[in-house]
Structure 1
Amino acid sequence: AQNPKTLTIANRTLERGEMLAHRFNGRAIRLADLPEQLASFDIVVSCTASSLPIIGLGLVETAIKSRRHKPMFMVDLAVPRDIETEIGRLDDVFLYTVDDLGAAVQTGMENRKAAVAQAEAIIETRVQSFMHWVDTRSVVPLIQDLHESSEAMRMIELERAKRLLAKGENIDVVLEALSRGLTAKFLHGPQQALHNAHGDERARLVALLPQLFRTKR
């Protein structure tokens, strides 16, 4: 816990335990007194150099019974283990060992790697979208010029059609002349460019014009 109400250090020698407990505003007990006081602890963290477990199944079962089966959280950081493995099977005990913590760390690392990969994919997508937007913006002036040029052609042919109608020309004849005039003006530029081009430039235009005008060739 980040802010435990009380902190107790159990050590084989009381003096050393008190020195450590003083640093954390806790209290110290002898390790030999642990069986009598184990039931009072909600969280137990053990890490000794003992070659044999110091907290056995029977001891914890007794403590859990005294606690009226209030859950106990136990962490065994010792190698070899301080807490008997069988204790982890008790319903009211949550036991974690060095192996469990290592697995949790590994899982956390894998999750972070997956998150990094996902973030990289998102960044790559955003970068591509941005670059596409930049490329699109670079042709905006050209598109504007095309619109202005086309609008100028349209206005010329429209004014001509209005004059013909004002003179009393047949509307079908005027519309035919309007459509032919617009077609001729729109195609004049590409036809002129194709006529004046040579070699590789002409080959590029020949490949490009069908895409621009959506012809069958």
Structure 2
Amino acid sequence: MTLLALGVNHKTAAVALREKMSFLPDSFEQAFHHLIQTTLVKSGVFLSTCNRTEFYLSAQNQSGLEKKLIQWLCEYCHLKPEELIKSLYWYYDDQAVEHLMRVASGLDSLILGEPQILGQIKKAFTQSQPHQIMCRDLKRLFQKSFSVAKRVRTETDIGVHAVSFAFAACSLARQIFESLSEVTVLLIGAGETIELMARHLFKHKVKRLIIANRTFEKALCLGNDFGADVIRFEEIPSRLYEADITMSSTASQLPVIDKNMIKQALKKRRNQPMLFIDIAVPRDIEPEVGHVPNVYLYNIDDLQSIIERHLSHRKRAVFKAESIIKEESLNFISWVRSQSSSEMIREYRSKADQIRIALTEKALAAIKKGDNLEKTLYALTHKLTNQLIHAPTSSLKKAALDGDIERFKFLHESLEHSGLLHFKKQATKKRHPN
């Protein structure tokens, strides 16, 4: 059985190609049935996110597999081979194991160490199971990868420090204010970054959340998700004083908050400190605001330096994370090999037992017919010996004829270690004494 990981991601393919290769959960069953009908694949897991589409598959063998998979992908995703081949990556067996563990641990993500990918892989694994009988090795690989990802996050700092603007902004707020449960935060805008900020603040139990946006309906929709108060954009100057922290990210070409607004807000607050985090480009808050007493202003460049510093912490954690993955992948590969050898041994023993039973029954039948007991027993053991050693001795002979010295030595040593050669010499001495 061959394990295979193939796919495209943000490093190998542009978004236009990733869009064409995305798989919706509803289309998984149809896609998988199409796959097993046209290739040697027996079971698989499809992972489809905005940054990657990957297929983790088990197949009977590698012969012609890549060609068939490329053909299937081109047909199913309506692609030309030349636009797909240059972006595809392939990992087999040991490398496939390491790759999945790296992906699950966030080491292969656009944002190093991001935790969302693990949840996405778990979801893909769960969605795959009802549609197929998943092979033991592939199922065990995913379960092992989940525990490895947990170990990496527990034993390293790969996910400790903020590496997104939204998370960095919220981390900065938590550094300045002892507890977010005692503060009011005003969010200006309603885009993806503001939504992430709202999510982080909600998670940390902010006392009160206010959202303002030019499109009131969009702010209202976001506010409903997080239990926030929603105000109209033109209300910002008169309501600014209510916020201990203001975070802004709009597409405005002109400043949304100026120095005069801040001074008016401070008067109403009796000069209680105010924190402003501006991650808009162009900037939403006039730079001069930072010179006003009791006002702390941070812009996107300030957050970038925080992110870069935190990213360097994560990069230092990569070495330890990689060593954990290497250790765990070797353990998994050893388990796979031990299972395979155990199955092979069971199969070999079963075959040998079938031969023994067949020859024994034949010998018993001959004895019942009146054949000489001693001759029958000698014939039985002679036939049993010939059948059991036919395959290894034929392989030994072929290795000698082919000039394959390494294989010949290996087979010879295997026979020697089995005791067959040693036992034969002893038996010969006893039967033909000097």
What is the distance in 2 between the residues matched to 1:107 and 1:91? 28
- Of 106, 109, 113, 2:308 maps to 106
Larger radius of gyration: 1
1:53 aligns with 2:53: no
- Of 41, 49, 61, 2:243 maps to 41
Equivalent residue, structure 2, for 1:29: 231
Equivalent residue, structure 1, for 2:265: 63
SS at match of 1:48: coil
Q: Deviations over 1:15-51 (max 9, x none)?
A: 2211110011111110101111100111111111100
What is the distance in 2 between the residues matched to 1:23 and 1:115? 35
Q: Deviations over 1:179-206 (max 9, x none)?
A: xxxxxxxxxxxxxxxxxxxxxxxxxxxx
The letter for the 2-side match of 1:5 is K
Structure 1 unpaired stretches of 5+: 120-217
Q: Deviations over 1:51-75 (max 9, x none)?
A: 0111001101111121111111111
Q: List structure 1 runs of 4+ shifted beyond 4 angstroms.
A: 111-117
The letter for the 1-side match of 2:240 is L
The letter for the 2-side match of 1:86 is E
Q: Deviations over 1:73-117 (max 9, x none)?
A: 111111110001011122211111110000111122335556789
Equivalent residue, structure 1, for 2:148: none
SS at match of 1:28: strand
SS at match of 2:257: coil
Please give the residue correspondences for 1:118-129 in structure 2 after superposition, counting only pairs within 5 Å: none
The letter for the 2-side match of 1:47 is S
SS at match of 1:9: strand
Equivalent residue, structure 1, for 2:289: 87
TM-score (norm 2): 0.26
Q: Deviations over 1:109-130 (max 9, x none)?
A: 335556789x8xxxxxxxxxxx
Equivalent residue, structure 2, for 1:72: 274
Please give the residue correspondences for 1:122-141 in structure 2 after superposition, counting only pairs within 5 Å: none
1:4 aligns with 2:206: yes
Equivalent residue, structure 1, for 2:333: none
Structure 2 unpaired stretches of 5+: 1-179, 181-203, 321-434
Q: CA offset at residue 13 of structure 1?
A: 3.0
1:110–1:92 distance in 2 versus 1, CA, 3 Å: same
1:112–1:17 distance in 2 versus 1, CA, 3 Å: closer
Q: Deviations over 1:113-164 (max 9, x none)?
A: 56789x8xxxxxxxxxxxxxxxxxxxxxxxxxxxxxxxxxxxxxxxxxxxxx
**1 or 2 for the larger relative contact order (CA 8 Å, sep ≥6)?**
2
What is the distance in 1 between the residues matched to 2:313 and 2:293? 29
The letter for the 1-side match of 2:231 is I
1:17 aligns with 2:219: yes
What is the distance in 1 between the residues matched to 2:258 and 2:275? 15
1:114–1:20 distance in 2 versus 1, CA, 3 Å: closer
SS at match of 1:102: helix
The letter for the 1-side match of 2:277 is V
The letter for the 1-side match of 2:247 is V
What is the distance in 2 between the residues matched to 1:26 and 1:54? 21
Equivalent residue, structure 2, for 1:96: 298
The letter for the 2-side match of 1:19 is C
CA-based RMSD:
2.1
The letter for the 2-side match of 1:82 is D
Equivalent residue, structure 2, for 1:210: none
Equivalent residue, structure 1, for 2:113: none
TM-score (norm 1): 0.50
What is the distance in 2 between the residues matched to 1:72 and 1:34? 15
Percent identity (aligned)? 42
The letter for the 2-side match of 1:52 is L
